[in-house]
């Protein structure tokens, strides 16, 4: 096993940026050798036309290049802020709900939340008079791995966002 391959394996599975000292401890190799191999590995990645790179801003980590972030966002669920979770909870509990009623419950920031949730296909909205009817989608159930009652999940989300 080459030193570069061992470093690459450590960076790949770490899930967080590692310092040179941490890599040295994990691989049981002197820091000087790690530094040299890391530079070579960074050069290897930068010379490839692949989707991965080694970022060294706050330690070293293998990550997807920004050019490919849209693909990753479609595959990996994004973390939602507490306020968006609360809005989603309100929608799930009260669905179908008029957008105007949701604004009354959660405030005007709901408009941004609705856009965010629609982009992720977690909710739909259909015209209803001067407002819109908002409901969760099948992707909402899939995202939260929900097999039963939507209301139970909404309560769970609401309680989680309070903690």
Predicted pLDDT of residue 153? 58
Question: Is 59 contained in some domain?
Answer: yes
Question: Is 77 contained in some domain?
Answer: no
Digit-coded pLDDT (tens) for 15-49: 788 999 999 999 999 999 999 999 999 999 999 98
Question: Is 142 contained in some domain?
Answer: yes
One domain for residues 66 and 87: no
One domain for residues 47 and 92: no
For 117, the domain range is: 82-162
Q: How many domains does the chain have?
A: 2
Predicted pLDDT of residue 102? 93
Question: Is 127 contained in some domain?
Answer: yes
One domain for residues 67 and 119: no
One domain for residues 39 and 92: no
Higher per-residue confidence, 29 vs 78: 29
| pLDDT band at 160; cut points 50, 70, 90 | low
One domain for residues 9 and 41: yes
One domain for residues 89 and 63: no
One domain for residues 99 and 56: no
- Residue 107: CATH number of its domain: 1.10.10.10
pTM: 0.50
Cα–Cα distance measured from residue 54 to residue 63, given in angstroms and rounded to the nearest whole number: 6
Cα–Cα distance measured from residue 144 to residue 153, given in angstroms and rounded to the nearest whole number: 8
Question: Is 109 contained in some domain?
Answer: yes
Position 128 pLDDT exceeds 70: yes
For 86, counting Cβ atoms within 10 Å of its Cβ (0-12 exposed, 13-18 middle, 19+ buried), the class is buried
Residue with tokens 């802020």: 81
Euclidean distance between the first and the last CA atom of the chain, given in angstroms as a whole number = 46
One domain for residues 146 and 86: yes
One domain for residues 54 and 122: no
Predicted pLDDT of residue 99? 95
Position 94 pLDDT exceeds 60: yes
| pLDDT band at 89; cut points 50, 70, 90 | confident
């Amino acid at each position: 096993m080459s030193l570069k391959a061992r470093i690459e394996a450590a960076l790949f599975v770490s899930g967080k940026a590692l310092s040179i000292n941490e890599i040295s401890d994990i691989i049981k190799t002197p820091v000087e050798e790690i530094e040299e191999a890391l530079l070579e590995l960074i050069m290897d990645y930068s010379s490839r036309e692949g989707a991965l790179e080694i970022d060294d801003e706050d330690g070293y980590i293998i990550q997807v290049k920004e050019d490919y972030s849209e693909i990753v966002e479609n595959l990996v669920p994004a973390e939602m802020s507490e306020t968006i979770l609360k809005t989603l909870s309100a929608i799930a509990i009260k669905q179908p709900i008029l957008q105007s009623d949701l604004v009354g419950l959660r405030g005007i920031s709901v408009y941004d939340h609705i856009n965010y949730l629609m982009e992720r296909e977690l909710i739909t909205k259909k015209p209803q008079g001067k407002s819109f009817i908002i409901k969760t989608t099948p992707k909402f159930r899939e995202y939260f791995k929900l097999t039963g009652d939507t209301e139970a999940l909404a309560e769970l989300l609401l309680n989680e966002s309070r903690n």
